[in-house]
Amino acid sequence: MQSATVSRTPSELRQAALDHIFIGMNNHAMLGEEGGPLIVEKGDGIYVWDVDGTRYIDGISGMYFRNVGHGREEIAKAIYEQISDLSANVYASVTPAAVELAAKIAELAPGDLSRTFFCQGGSEANESALKLAQAYHVRMGERGRYKVISRRGSYHGATYGTMWLGEHPGFPRTDYQPKPSSAVHVAAPHFYRCEFNSESPEECGELSALAIEKAILSEGPESVSAVIGEPVTQPMGGVVPPENYWPMVREICDRYGVLLIFDEVITGFGRLGEWFGADVVKTQPDIISFAKGITSGYFPLGGCIGDRRIADAFAGGPEKTWSHMYTYSAHPGGVSAGLKNLEIIEREGLIQNARERGVQMADRLKAMEERFEIIGEARGIGLVQGLEMVEDGESKKSFAPEVGIGMRMTEALKRRGVWIRVGAYILPLSPPLTISASEVDDLCDAVEDSIEEVSAGL
Ligand SMILES: Cc1ncc(COP(=O)(O)O)c(C=O)c1O
């Protein structure tokens, strides 16, 4: 069911894709050997179809954004109707839909988070949050605060600034050296691979929080603007921090006048079984950045929301203005998609479904951890789950790159009708929040059979 403008056959499309598109994070020679990239043309619920008509379960919701599932005509219609009336903002204006959406986000967000800046995606959301934090400190008379503390293993974006946050091994920055002095990295609260060899999750949580305090002190508190982190970290495969971690980090930030930014680009809008990850980890941040799930990817939209204290810092004369914008901030198509998307999440009880299906999936994944030597740990909450694959369960040794464990697993899943591009050692699972109990079983059956096949072939 190709659109009228597409005249190529599926194999011509794959070749033309290799010739003309940079396919994000992928090596073209490798994609060529695989016969070209997956080219999808239709989606419905948790499924997508490629140009050959093969159906796949979308195991990671596109890229962790398809919260309400594929094929929602009512969102397409809301966008169509909005951009038929008004297709873009005019300078220094807002639209009624943008106002409604910002008010709705303020109502849903924890504490007194109340004023949103809209942009187009997650990297810009974090970029904006960092600028908001630094500008806030300047308004408060602290011009020297520019450093940002982030945790190893996190991912916060691809722009020139955000790529330095986190230090995820899957996103090497060797092409873009040198690292800016604003980027300070600390250990993640990841008990399975605790950098402090902690004996309990609590100890790992405490030592990881104290690592932030240590970094603030060694950098000089007067130079630190913010700590940024995802309440639950997806890139390392659904790392849920020990319960004591975020409350301790909150106290440490308060002690040194450092702002706490939660990157909720993945965790926002229901994926963890609450509206926000902040609700799950019971910690109030000063700023939340969001994207993906706000529109379920039906239109590129992101943003960051600051609390009342931050909003107030920009009240007053012209010198208080926050000088920051994008041409397509609060695009009318995006904000109307967002409003309709949130309406669906509420109307269909998708947050509760994410919670329940998350428990169901976690039970199945834990059973796989027990059954297979190559599954080191199953972890996650809600619909951010992951399996860490190891060569040796005892020593937790990861597979050597030559084994190509990710590619073997990707192909085994694909043969079973599941599309998840598996990385070097994490098999992520984050289906749409609409997934039913029987679909969770189908997905988990395919994962279990794939692990069995790959294990046997090693
Ligand atoms: C936690 C997190 N933050 C930020 C980003 C960057 O978002 P985008 O790719 O929309 O720029 C991502 C993207 O996957 C993400 O997972």
Query: Could you tell me the CATH number of the domain that includes residue 436?
Result: 3.90.1150.10
- Structural domains of the chain, count: 2
Query: What distance in angstroms lies between residue 155's CA and the mean position of ligand 1's atoms?
Result: 7
- Of all protein residues, the one whose alpha carbon is nearest to atom 4 of ligand 1 is 156
Residue 3: per-residue pLDDT:
58
Ligand 1: atom nearest CA of 302 is 10
Q: Which atom of ligand 1 is nearest to the CA of 233?
A: 1
Residue of 230, 269, 292 to test ligand 1 pocket, by largest number of atoms within 8 Å of CB: 292
| Kind of pairing between the strands at 40-44 and 47-50 | antiparallel
Looking at the structure, tell me whether residues 121 and 209 fall in a common domain: yes
Whether 297 is covered by a domain: the verdict is yes
Residues 62 and 81 both lie in one domain = no
Same domain, 137 and 260: yes
Give the end of a domain, one of 309, 324, 347: 347
Give 53's contacts (C-beta < 8 A, 6+ positions apart): none
Q: Give the closest residue to 386 by CA, choosing from 411, 434, 420, 356.
A: 420
Residues 54 and 123 in one domain: no
pLDDT number for residue 32: 86
Chosen domain end from 331, 347, 363: 347
For ligand 1, residues with CB inside 6 Å are 63, 121-123, 126, 155-158, 230, 234, 263, 265-266, 291
Same domain, 146 and 198: yes
Pocket test for ligand 1, best of 123, 262, 289 (most atoms within 8 A of CB): 123
Interval 41-96: pLDDT, tens: 999 999 999 999 999 999 999 999 999 999 999 999 999 999 999 999 999 999 99
Kindly state the tokens that stand for 114.
């109340």
Helix/strand/coil percentages in the chain, nearest 5:
45, 15, 40
Tokens of 124: 């810009």
Q: Are 336 and 82 in contact (CB under 8 A)?
A: yes
**58 and 120: one domain?**
no
Cα-to-centroid distance, 125 and ligand 1 (Å): 9
Distance CA 441, CA 180 (A): 46
CB 385 within 8 A of CB 409: no
Give the domain CATH number at 342. 3.40.640.10
What is the C-alpha R_g of the chain? Answer: 22
Same domain for 195 and 231, yes or no, is yes
Rounded Cα–Cα distance for residues 251 and 248 (Å): 5
Q: How far is the CA of 134 from the centre of ligand 1 (A)?
A: 21
Task: Write out the two tokens for 426.
Answer: 């994490």
Give the pLDDT score at 6. 85
Give the rounded distance of the alpha carbon of 15 from its chain centre: 30
Ligand 1 nearest-atom number relative to CA 159: 11
Say whether both 232 and 337 belong to one domain.
Answer: yes
Q: What is the pTM of this model?
A: 0.97
Q: Residue 54: its pLDDT value, please?
A: 97
Q: Are residues 268 and 405 in the same domain?
A: no
Domain of residue 395: give its range: 38-68+349-456
Tell me, yes or no, whether 105 and 242 share the same domain. Answer: yes
Between strands 224-229 and 147-151, the pairing is parallel
Report the separation in Å between the CA atom of 289 and the middle of ligand 1, taken as the mean of its atom positions.
Answer: 10
Tell me what pLDDT residue 2 has.
52
Cα separation of 295 and 74, whole Å? Answer: 12
In a domain, 4, yes or no: no
- The pLDDT value given to residue 170: 85
What are the E-state strand segments in 71-223?
A: 113-119, 147-151, 183-186
Q: Give the other-Cβ count within 10 Å of 457's Cβ.
A: 8
Tell how far the Cα of 109 is from the centroid of ligand 1, in angstroms.
Answer: 19
213 located within any domain: yes
Question: What distance in angstroms lies between residue 55's CA and the mean position of ligand 1's atoms?
Answer: 26
Helix axes 245-256, 201-219, angle to 10 degrees: 20
Q: Which atom of ligand 1 is nearest to the CA of 120?
A: 10
Asked if residue 26 is part of any domain, the answer here is no
pLDDT at 79: 98
Task: Assess whether 425 and 376 both reside in one domain.
Answer: yes
Alpha carbon of 196 to those of 41, 86, 190, 191, 192: distances in Å?
A: 47, 55, 10, 9, 11
Residue 85 domain flag: yes
Ranges of residues in the chain with a pLDDT under 50 are: none
- Given 347, 381, 416, the domain boundary residue is 347
Residue 25 lies in a domain: no
In this structure, are 195 and 219 located in the same domain? yes
pLDDT digits (tens, 9 = 90+) for 325-380: 999 999 999 999 999 999 999 999 999 999 999 999 999 999 999 999 999 999 99
Structure tokens at 117: 């800046």
- The answer to whether residue 408 sits within a structural domain is yes
Residue 166 C-alpha to ligand 1 middle, in angstroms?
A: 12
Task: Determine, yes or no, domain membership for 186.
Answer: yes
